[in-house]
Amino acid sequence: MSQEDLLQNFKEIFKTDNNPRFFFAPGRINLIGEHTDYNGGHVFPAAISCGTYAVVQQRSDQKLQFYSMNFPEQRKIECELADLSYNADHGWANFPKGMIHYFIESGFSIPYGMDILFYGDIPNSAGLSSSASLEMVTGVVLEELFKLEINRLHMIQLGQKVENNYLGINSGIMDQFAVGKGKKDFAILLNCHTLEFNYAPLELTDHEILIINSNKQRTLAASKYNERRAQCEQALSDIRTELQVSNFGELTIKDFEQYKHLIKSEINRKRAKHAVYENERTLLAFQELEQGNIQGFGKLMNESHVSLRDDYEVTGAELDKIVETAWNHPGVIGARMTGAGFGGCAIAIVKQTQIENLKEKITENYTKEFGFSPSFYEAEISDGAKEILRGDV
Ligand code: GLA
């Protein structure tokens, strides 16, 4: 959908002739470092060029009107600045509402309401952070429209708060961080405990990152996600009976092997193993990329998937099929699931000349087994959330 189309829709839906402002926040992929963020480890995500657009005008009263081109059946959703409490009937609009709520709670002045039209070209519920994108685009709308002095990290933390406190998903900080601080052609190595980060240029020579959407409905993903987190917390508390450590990101593989017997449940031990080993893999992967060794990087991606499949148990048959097909294909140097799992997307680093063949092979194998087909996107690594000028898209 072009900017002109969005403008046209905005004017019709909100019955206005005013010229609105345009904002954009990307989605993200995670190259490696999965389910490590809430365990105090490292992640290595990058923002992508699909994302969420917001077309906005300020109102002169305190009313908020939201409309999503992705959910036209839900029509215009309205509320007042004075009542931003969670409302199940408001569906997707709880994301921007939650963001505005936490801005106000943090002391930022939002004196007027707004009309906002949203349009996202990231597939929903596919593990590419459509929700963080919606939160962060709302964040930059508020920052720019009301000239607020908010630093980006604070905005990122408010986005996470929407997930944790407003929507009840105990997610970590990775998604909002990647969406908020993405940089064109760079991935971000983030220490989720200290929040220190480094940008790493994504130089893949004649390879590209292919995103493969399993198109599998992610049922119960939120409750399974929260369950994984609780299992890690239990495992940590078992370890802490003898070892002073504040999170799994602080634990080396050697220490883990020495103290893992303290973790009472076998399942929790597997979850903790993933968290510790995945953190080390992520640091190694960063080094491999810095040294230009993309083969080494790809091997670590593959190991990450195996660990998510066997120890963390979040991949599922569909993602496994996609990833295994990719592993067996010429020109693929690494493939793994990306995001929370339980369905959603996988990524593969593939030689450009092999991309079309790989898509065909995955479609064939996958459709034969599951009766529906996957979708593909070629990832372009982009900047984080920002205002865009007309004609910029
Ligand atoms: C989701 C969460 C993130 C992170 C990933 C798994 O995307 O929102 O915080 O935990 O899953 O790595």
Determine the pLDDT at residue 393.
53
Model confidence, pTM = 0.96
The average confidence (pLDDT) of the chain is 96
In our burial notation (b when 16+ CB lie closer than 10 A, e otherwise), range 354-387 reads bbeebbebbbebbeeeeeeebebbebebbbbbbb
Residue 211 and residue 193 in one domain: no
Pick from 93, 101, 15: nearest CA to 52: 93
Residue 304 and residue 243 in one domain: yes
For the segment 126-155, what is each residue's pLDDT rounded down to a tens digit?
A: 899 999 999 999 999 999 999 999 999 999
The pair of structure tokens assigned to 392 is 């910029």
> For a substitution probing ligand 1, which of 174, 179, 314 has the most ligand atoms within 8 Å of its CB?
174
175 is catalytic: yes
Q: Is 164 exposed, middle or buried (0-12, 13-18, 19+ CB in 10 A)?
A: middle
β partners of residue 21: 56
Flag whether 188 is in a domain. Answer: yes
Does ligand 1 have an atom closer than 6 angstroms to the CB of 41?
no
Task: Tell me the Cα Rg of the chain.
Answer: 21
Residue 133 and residue 249 in one domain: no
β partners of residue 332: 350
Give the mean pLDDT of 226-242. 97
Q: For residue 46, what is the domain's CATH number? A: 3.30.230.10
Q: Whose CA is nearest to atom 1 of ligand 1?
A: 340
CB 48 within 8 A of CB 179: no
Determine the pLDDT at residue 123.
86
Determine the pLDDT at residue 209.
97
Question: How far does Cα 12 stand from its chain's mean position?
Answer: 32
Residue 11 and residue 148 in one domain: yes
Domain of 339? 207-379
Determine the pLDDT at residue 153.
98
pLDDT grade for 391, boundaries at 50, 70 and 90: low
Q: For residue 315, what is the domain's CATH number? A: 3.30.70.890
Q: Which atom of ligand 1 is nearest to the CA of 174?
A: 9
Residue 216 and residue 176 in one domain: no
Give the mean pLDDT of 101-122. 97
Determine the pLDDT at residue 205.
85
Residue 152 and residue 116 in one domain: yes
Flag whether 271 is in a domain. Answer: yes
Structural domains in the chain (count): 2
Instruction: Give residue 161 CA to ligand 1 midpoint distance, Å.
Output: 14
Residue 241 and residue 346 in one domain: yes
Q: Which atom of ligand 1 is nearest to the CA of 172?
A: 9
Residue 90 and residue 25 in one domain: yes
Flag whether 356 is in a domain. Answer: yes
Flag whether 257 is in a domain. Answer: yes
For the segment 355-380, what is each residue's pLDDT rounded down to a tens digit?
A: 999 999 999 999 999 999 999 998 89
Rounded distance between C-alpha atoms, residue 136 and residue 98, angstroms: 11
> For a substitution probing ligand 1, which of 35, 163, 166 has the most ligand atoms within 8 Å of its CB?
35
CB 390 within 8 A of CB 353: no
Give the DSSP H/E element, type plus range, for residue 64: strand 63-68
Q: Evaluate if residue 390 carries a pLDDT over 80.
A: no
Range scoring the smallest mean pLDDT among 205-214, 221-230, 251-260: 221-230
Annotated active-site residue in 37, 115, 175, 383:
175
pLDDT grade for 338, boundaries at 50, 70 and 90: very high
**Which position has the higher pLDDT, 263 or 170?**
263
Give the mean pLDDT of 207-224. 89
Flag whether 393 is in a domain. Answer: no
Instruction: Give residue 171 CA to ligand 1 midpoint distance, Å.
Output: 6
Residue 213 and residue 281 in one domain: yes
Determine the pLDDT at residue 223.
87
Does ligand 1 have an atom closer than 6 angstroms to the CB of 312?
no
Flag whether 179 is in a domain. Answer: yes
Residues 6+ apart with CB under 8 A from 229: 38, 170
Residues found in the chain = 393
Residue 101 and residue 184 in one domain: yes
Does ligand 1 have an atom closer than 6 angstroms to the CB of 35?
yes
Give the mean pLDDT of 384-391. 88
Q: Evaluate if residue 220 carries a pLDDT over 90.
A: no
Q: Evaluate if residue 41 carries a pLDDT over 80.
A: yes
Determine the pLDDT at residue 335.
98
For the segment 261-320, what is each residue's pLDDT rounded down to a tens digit?
A: 999 999 999 999 999 999 999 999 999 999 999 999 999 999 999 999 999 999 999 999
Residue 195 and residue 238 in one domain: no
Instruction: Give residue 220 CA to ligand 1 midpoint distance, Å.
Output: 15
Residue 150 and residue 213 in one domain: no
